[in-house]
Amino acid sequence: MFSDLASALIVTRREVRDQFRDWRILAPILVLTLFFPGLMNFTAREAVSFVSRYGAPVIGDRLIPFLLMVVGFFPISVSLVIALESFVGEKERRSIEPLLSSPLTDLQLYLGKLLAVMLPPLLASYLGIGVYLFGVHRQVGWTPDPILLVQVVTLTTVQSLLMVSGAVVISSQVTSTRAANLLASFIIVPTAMLLIGESMIMFWARYNVLWWAIFGQILISGLLIRTGIAHFNREELLGREIDTLNLKWSWQVFWRAFVGESKSVSDWLRRGFIQTFQRVCLPLLLALVAFTAGGIVGAQQAQIFVLPTELMDINNLQQGFVQEIEGFEALRFFSVESVPLVWMHNLRVILLATILGLFTFGVMGLIVLMLPFILIGYFTATAARTGIPLGLFLTAFVLPHGVLEIPAIALAGAAILRLGATLSAPAENRTISEALLHSLADWAKVMLVLVLPMLLGAAILEVFVTPGVALNIFGN
Amino acid sequence: MIRTEGLTKQFEDFLAVDEVSLDVCAGEVMALLGPNGAGKTTTVRMLTSVLRPTRGAARVAGYDVVTEARKVRSSVGILTEDHGLYPRMPAVEYLDFFGQLYSMKPEVRRKRVRELLGQFGLLHERHQHIGEYSKGMRQKLALARALLHDPPVLLLDEPTSAMDPESARLVRNAIKDLRSAERAIIICTHNLVEAEELADQIAIIRRGRIIAKGSPMALKQMLLGPGEFEIRLATTLNGSPAALPPGVTISAQGPRWIRFRTSHPETDNPLMLRALLDQKIPVVSLQEAPRSLEQVYLEAVNAPDGREVLDVL
């Protein structure tokens, strides 16, 4: 372990020394470390003095911690540029090949470079924070709460890790710095949004919420590091000479994975599909856990965001429900035409979840599919609170079509999770593209054989059976 | 020392290297020749365990390139086509860095770095940034890097391409010394004169396949046919010599010279001389007509697809 780290540090030392020889990296770091905190000190002093004159000292109180976060963030923004330069720049200049021909493992190289691109901007950031704190203490006498300081320093560190680990993933997929810079918007835009969110928290002064931001970023960084390690290997780095999308080859790989060695449709269902199903078993379990958690979260929210009781009063509900039934014709329940509408709606949701899941290791896809379960949990708990029996509520509104829809969504969630997770999992004897195409084939099989037919069945039940059951239970 | 069997590499739907089988012993130099994009670099990358073969097997310095990748990389010195230097680093620091990567002890590293910089005439410029080096100096430095850990196997891509004749001679001599020191060496080159001078074996690769392999002499014999000899005459010859030994064919003729081909020069050449002397035609000299490796190479790479591999090892 320590010898592994020692070898990684050889790379780190070389890269850091190289960075300090490049004035293009050194100049912004120095400016952001020494000049920028001074500027922020000046801004803080002037702002505090200005708002105090108009009786709004609270703005000044919130501005100083906010500027502390900004001072910490600016130097680490340089780490993104250094990361792109270090990973893809070296690949583009072809100086990476002798390094890859050395006895270092992929992990040692990854770790060495990760530390090299993170350490100088982070040290600059910590120094900048120090300079700012010293200045602001001297000028306006402000000293941060130690916990807030720990939060800001931790936040700065995880943000740097987040950007760098994201940059590595991008760098491993391209062969030129230009392409990497273009794709870097996938990091810059979410980071900017994150920063806006954190700024709002700072002005809101709910500093406890910062822990959630830190926790979320650690999770995402963990996933990105896992992905980076999977992608940063010799085969991926040198096996790709130009950034091309080979559609013909992609289709061939997909089709081979989709059809497998099956000789007929029955053979495909018997053998090929069973194997696919076995592969999605673990993600299925995870999806079911997530959906159950969604239901519980929904039920908990019902205790926090309480609906007025009259809305959920059983008598009012029955009355309102009868009125609604009268409008059923307009909503086209009990109509064949509605079946494709309901079916297509569910398919659109699955498609959206798939697209989101593909870019977020399956996480966002799963969250989208969790939303109905949160709502079910919320309304079931609300109904139960107002005296409607839990079983009755579920039987009336959820179960008739949920019998098919819930398993279908769970299966879709499992396939999406597997598809997204492929990017972060090392592909044995396969390139990332091949592994992704194989997972896409599994996704397509699950959709075609199970999810689509089950959702169609669920749509039929939702249009014809559920309203009937609800009518019988809650109608007069 | 280097042995591959059916080594194959496929990138998506592109077959870069197809069933390559090579065998290079210690103290042997193999020149890997072929047009650009033929698969030379991919083959070398598989031999350094940088790329994983799609099929086939390879052992380098006794280690399997897939299962013992780290040991393979420790045993190989590689000179890449693009030298992969860091322009902001001084040469001495650069070599020291690679010495550390190969786990060389500090005192061994310092001694070896100095020795190699001296050997390639870079000692005075050792503290200069590599960015200030000329192309030839960079190439020599990259070669020094490949030799730094004294590896038993060397894979050299275009080792003298950017060098002036004097430096190129220095490097060629270094390669000969390494061969004498029982190193197994593969050179990828377009310099056929250099390949002929250095190589014990030639392998010609085209579209990922080895299309001809053997010693330079054997390949010439195989691809260019029987040896050609030239006789210079003292007087002008009118017409062909009257009686030629059986198996000898005149390939070209001038007023005072004749070129002929024979598969058995040891018996046919004295007979040829006797035939001329019998006809009272005075002979000035008899010598083998030079045949370059370039002819062999062009013959091999321009041959139609599907021809069987010429293996004359």
Residue B49 domain-assigned (yes or no): yes
Residue B309 domain-assigned (yes or no): no
Nearest to B70 among A18, A103, A249 (CB): A103
Count of domains for chain B = 2
**Domain coverage including residue A364:** 247-474
ipTM: 0.80
Both A83 and A226 in one domain: the answer is yes
Both A61 and A117 in one domain: the answer is yes
Minimal CA–CA distance to B228: which of B250, B256, B260, B252? B260
CA angle A460/A462/A465 to nearest 5° reads: 85
Nearest to A98 among B49, B88, B145 (CB): B145
Both A177 and A230 in one domain: the answer is yes
Count of domains for chain A = 2
- Report how far apart the first and last C-alpha atoms of chain A are (Å, whole number): 72
**Domain coverage including residue B249:** 225-288
Measured between alpha carbons, how far is A23 from A205 in angstroms, rounded to an integer? Answer: 38
| Closest-CA distance of chain A to residue B151, Å | 12
Both A252 and A332 in one domain: the answer is yes
In chain B, which among 233-292 make CB contacts under 8 A with chain A?
A: none
Both B43 and B182 in one domain: the answer is yes
Both A75 and A110 in one domain: the answer is yes
Both A262 and A161 in one domain: the answer is no
Both A17 and A115 in one domain: the answer is yes
* Tokens linked to B53: 């073969």
C-alpha B81: how far from chain center: 15
Both B134 and B282 in one domain: the answer is no
Both B60 and B180 in one domain: the answer is yes
Residue B303 domain-assigned (yes or no): no
Both A10 and A89 in one domain: the answer is yes
Query: Given this model, what pLDDT does residue A298 score?
Result: 92
Cα distances (Å, whole numbers) of residue A297 to A271, A394, A406, B167:
39, 17, 17, 74
Last residue of a domain, one of A198, A219, A238: A238
Mutate to test the interface with B, among A4, A91, A102, A238 (most CBs of B within 10 A): A102
Both B197 and B161 in one domain: the answer is yes
Both A280 and A228 in one domain: the answer is no
Residue B308 domain-assigned (yes or no): no
Both B181 and B247 in one domain: the answer is no
Q: Are B28 and B192 in contact (CB under 8 A)?
A: no
Last residue of a domain, one of B214, B237, B261: B214
Indicate the DSSP class of residue A203: H
Indicate the DSSP class of residue A264: S
| Closest-CA distance of chain A to residue B106, Å | 13
Both A212 and A274 in one domain: the answer is no
Residues 6+ apart with CB under 8 A from B37: none
Residue B173 domain-assigned (yes or no): yes
Both B150 and B251 in one domain: the answer is no
Mutate to test the interface with B, among A97, A235, A250, A256 (most CBs of B within 10 A): A97
Last residue of a domain, one of B185, B214, B243: B214
The residue with greater pLDDT, B226 or A44, is A44
Both B21 and B148 in one domain: the answer is yes
Residue type, A345: H
Mutate to test the interface with A, among B54, B81, B100 (most CBs of A within 10 A): B100
- Paired strand residues for A179: none
Both A84 and A224 in one domain: the answer is yes
Both B173 and B250 in one domain: the answer is no
Nearest to B82 among A10, A94, A105 (CB): A94
Residues from chain A contacting residue B13 (CB–CB below 8 Å)? 246, 248-249, 252
Both B30 and B153 in one domain: the answer is yes
Both A230 and A122 in one domain: the answer is yes
pLDDT in tens, chain B (313 residues): 899 999 999 887 788 899 999 999 999 999 998 888 889 999 999 999 999 999 999 999 999 999 999 999 999 999 988 888 998 899 999 999 999 999 999 999 999 999 999 998 898 988 999 999 988 899 899 999 999 999 999 999 888 887 888 888 888 888 999 999 899 999 998 888 888 888 899 898 888 898 888 888 778 777 777 778 889 988 887 777 667 778 788 888 888 888 888 888 888 889 888 888 888 888 999 998 877 777 777 777 777 665 555 555 5
Residue B313 domain-assigned (yes or no): no
Both B18 and B84 in one domain: the answer is yes
